[in-house]
Structure 1
Amino acid sequence: MPENNNRINNLLEQYINKSISEADFIELFDYIKKDENKQVFDDFMKKADKIGLPDADVHHVDWEHMYSNIVSDNKKKSKSGLIISFAKKLTIAASLILVSYLGFKVFNKPAEEHSVEKITKRDLLPGSDKAILKLADGSEIVLNDAHNGVLTKQGQSNINKNDEGFIEYNEINTNGEKTVYVNTLSTPRGGQYRLMLPDKSLVWLNAESSITFPSAFVGNQRKVTVTGEAYFEVAKDKTKPFIVQSGGASVEVLGTHFNVNVYPNEENAAVTLLEGSIKLSNHNTSKILVPGQQALFNSESNNITLNNVDIDNVVDWKNGLFIFEDASVTEVMRQIERWYNVDVKYTGNIPKIKFNGVVSRNNNVSKLLKLLQAAGNIEFDIKNKTIEVKQINK
């Protein structure tokens, strides 16, 4: 009915502008979950933005899942334990809908048609849960091939692969002197993995990363070493500070949530605090971070720069998303290199484009590249395991 159509359009306008109330949001989803109203939504989205791709399809949006995630509580804990407000979830969901329908949301460039044949014929799959656990004796367990259950034993801890597919260190004997074994969990390019340490702290490893840790934490501290990128939810223990070491830098906490990005090919290393408090030391300089702050530093100087950041953008990777906010071509392609296990080659000048949008990390690389190509003066070609990036001169 036309009156319903007007109401849906009004609600959609508020939704895309992220000004909709929770009550109106529930009403909107009651409309758009019905097949007879899909055409109204389709017509609205065509008017809402001119950027589009031939294969974009709004019906790929999982309405029920999105609805339940957003309206179940005004403030709800995510799987990571973080509190996500209704407004923030609405922002992400609105971006996901735009991406699902329109392709990639680029705010600063008009879209142009380019050939996609070069990237669809040689498609690459996204990364997945895979890692190698190196034990103290040098032996290795390929975890993506391992069965669920007890894999082996290190000192007083059983190493289990649980039903959720991640590794747990469970102490089986807490009496007497503990024998400590040093283990390393590492992910390749195109891999990610989760780990529960002996103290019940949780760690998410991004692609091409590693964490070295003991089979039991003894003494007056809990110390691990990290390369690449890792997200931590540290179990509270006031008697034993938790220390993350990387090169000449260290992060000290008692119990908190934070992200460490120390990839060697990034311009700066970064530590971002989501909850609690941490002390970052870089050579002879130290800073205390509060939630929402990110510390930038590098191995060549003692400087530490503190900035306020959008923490959701920092930990997007562990939630299965690429979230780009004014991201340069090189920043985007470094993430693609690690997640899709490819090399990147630039032909000619690097396009000066800034990308904004939310895209699932579960897409094949061709879909992501087509979405990026909507910026208008960039083109990609996949040759074996190399993606060539070329600026299109107008």
Structure 2
Amino acid sequence: MSDARVQYLVTRFFEGSITVTEKEELAAWVNQAEGDDVLKKELEEAWERYEPDAALKEQADPALDRIIGNLYANAGEAAAGNAVPARFRFLKRFAAAAAILLVAGAGMYYWYNSGSKQETVTAAITNDVPPGSTKAVLTLSNGQQIVLDSAANGILAQQGGTSISKQAGGQIVYNANGETAGETLYNTMSTPRGGEYQLTLPDGTKAWLNAASSITYPTAFTGSERNVQITGEVYLEVAKDKRKSFLVQVNDVKLEVLGTHFNVNAYGDDKIVRTTLLEGSVKVNAGGSSRVISPGQQAKVARGGTMTVDANVNIAETMAWKNGRFVFEGAPIETVMRQLSRWYDVEVQAVEDIDDLFFVDVPRNKKISDVLKALELTGKVKFKIEGKKIMILK
């Protein structure tokens, strides 16, 4: 590939405007090296010839700082501001090229060159596992349960003055007929392990549920507040209504919003409630304290109510599930396998003595063997599949 073409693709990569075809071309170029040393040499030479504009460097440097920060944290090494360990220095020498190595080279290139690489994968498979799918159960106020993935399109039920319908795309929508007097009725939508679903609440708020998640809400928002409760992971695009605040209860954490886009991750096995803001503002209340977070920030509330705010969260990694992907940028194996376990509804053998961080970007619509192969191509871990049990081999 010519130097000019590499420069063009690198620029498109960081601007976020690169097409699927161009990404395949770039990943193929990354993958053509025979080994890491050769690849690093090629990337260094490309970076030496490539001079990004100031705006591009502003995007590249924080990205690499975050990656290096994750490496520091994992290794228990010097805090930011101290000398960078020798093995990390090359990252800062060619930020864009290194990012391509980490993002495109550590897993993504599997999808574009699997033919030449698959013989290196050792995952033993006796029964492959398909990916999760669109499925959920809707529990009505009277306890009746409707299995949504098998329900026919059209009106599913009538709850007070509100009708519930399933649209052609599978989404559930609530439509009020204007009659709001009477008892407040509550519904709950829940997804199983291996399921996801989309819902439009009575006020027009859109909700996306990840696997093993739920949201409980009234069939009509009649008071001065719109209250919902969630478990698991839910992304919300809240309909604007200045007269009615939108309140989300997550365990002992309470979120206050007016109109905003945010993601809440509150799985019990993570032990931390993470609220990530994409648009608008959210006030997070927990443990007797409160913080207002801005777009691009993430509030983390540990058990006991201790709250911290990450001002430089990786939005692409946080929202990957909603966009149909697994994205890990410096994630420990425990984080990776928790996500795979929920989406594929599999049991994962206890993880021990694996301190590596994983940089992988793969689609969620692949069989689990394909995802495990991408992880194996990092050279850090191997897997064995037996039915719905995943064993990690070091």
| Range into which the TM-score falls when normalised by the shorter chain | 0.7 to 0.9
Note if contact 1:14-1:20 (Cα within 8 Å) is conserved in structure 2.
no
Post-superposition, which runs of at least 4 consecutive aligned residues in structure 1 deviate over 6 A?
Answer: 19-23, 40-43, 90-97
Task: Indicate how the Cα distance of structure 1 residues 302 and 327 shifts in structure 2: closer, same or farther if over 3 A, else same.
Answer: closer
Q: CA deviation at 1:10?
A: 3.2
Q: Which 5+ residue runs of structure 2 have no aligned equivalent? A: 37-95
CA distance in 2, matches of 1:122, 1:210: 30
Match of 1:355 in 2: 358
Q: CA deviation at 1:143?
A: 0.4
CA distance in 2, matches of 1:372, 1:339: 16
Note if contact 2:284-2:292 (Cα within 8 Å) is conserved in structure 1.
yes
1:353-385 per-position Cα deviation (integer Å, ceiling 9, x unaligned)? 211121100010000001111222422111222
CA distance in 2, matches of 1:262, 1:42: 34
Q: CA deviation at 1:308?
A: 1.9
Match of 2:393 in 1: 390
Match of 1:100 in 2: 111
Q: CA deviation at 1:306?
A: 3.6
- Give 1:36-185 correspondences, 5 Å limit: 44-47=29-32, 50=35, 98-102=109-113, 113-116=120-123, 118-119=124-125, 121-171=126-176, 173-175=177-179, 177-185=181-189
Match of 1:369 in 2: 372
Question: 2:355 corresponds to which letter in structure 1?
Answer: K
Give RMSD over aligned pairs: 3.2
Match of 1:380 in 2: 383
CA distance in 2, matches of 1:151, 1:364: 32
Q: Match of 1:137, SS?
A: coil
- Give 1:150-299 correspondences, 5 Å limit: 150-171=155-176, 173-175=177-179, 177-299=181-303
Q: CA deviation at 1:302?
A: 3.7
CA distance in 2, matches of 1:290, 1:150: 39
Identity of aligned residues (%): 40
CA distance in 2, matches of 1:158, 1:354: 48
* Bigger helix fraction: 2
Question: 2:32 corresponds to which letter in structure 1?
Answer: K
Q: Match of 1:363, SS?
A: coil
CA distance in 2, matches of 1:337, 1:296: 23
With normalisation by structure 1, the TM-score equals: 0.75
CA distance in 2, matches of 1:42, 1:248: 44
Q: Which 5+ residue runs of structure 1 have no aligned equivalent? A: 52-86, 104-110
CA distance in 2, matches of 1:228, 1:331: 15
Question: 2:325 corresponds to which letter in structure 1?
Answer: L
Q: Match of 1:339, SS?
A: helix
CA distance in 2, matches of 1:250, 1:305: 15
With normalisation by structure 2, the TM-score equals: 0.75
1:181-210 per-position Cα deviation (integer Å, ceiling 9, x unaligned)? 111100000000000000000000000000
CA distance in 1, matches of 2:211, 2:26: 37
Q: CA deviation at 1:14?
A: 3.6
Match of 2:47 in 1: none
* Equivalenced residues, count: 328
Please identify, of 184-193 and 146-155, the stretch whose mean Cα deviation from structure 2 is larger: 146-155
- Give 1:308-347 correspondences, 5 Å limit: 308-346=312-350
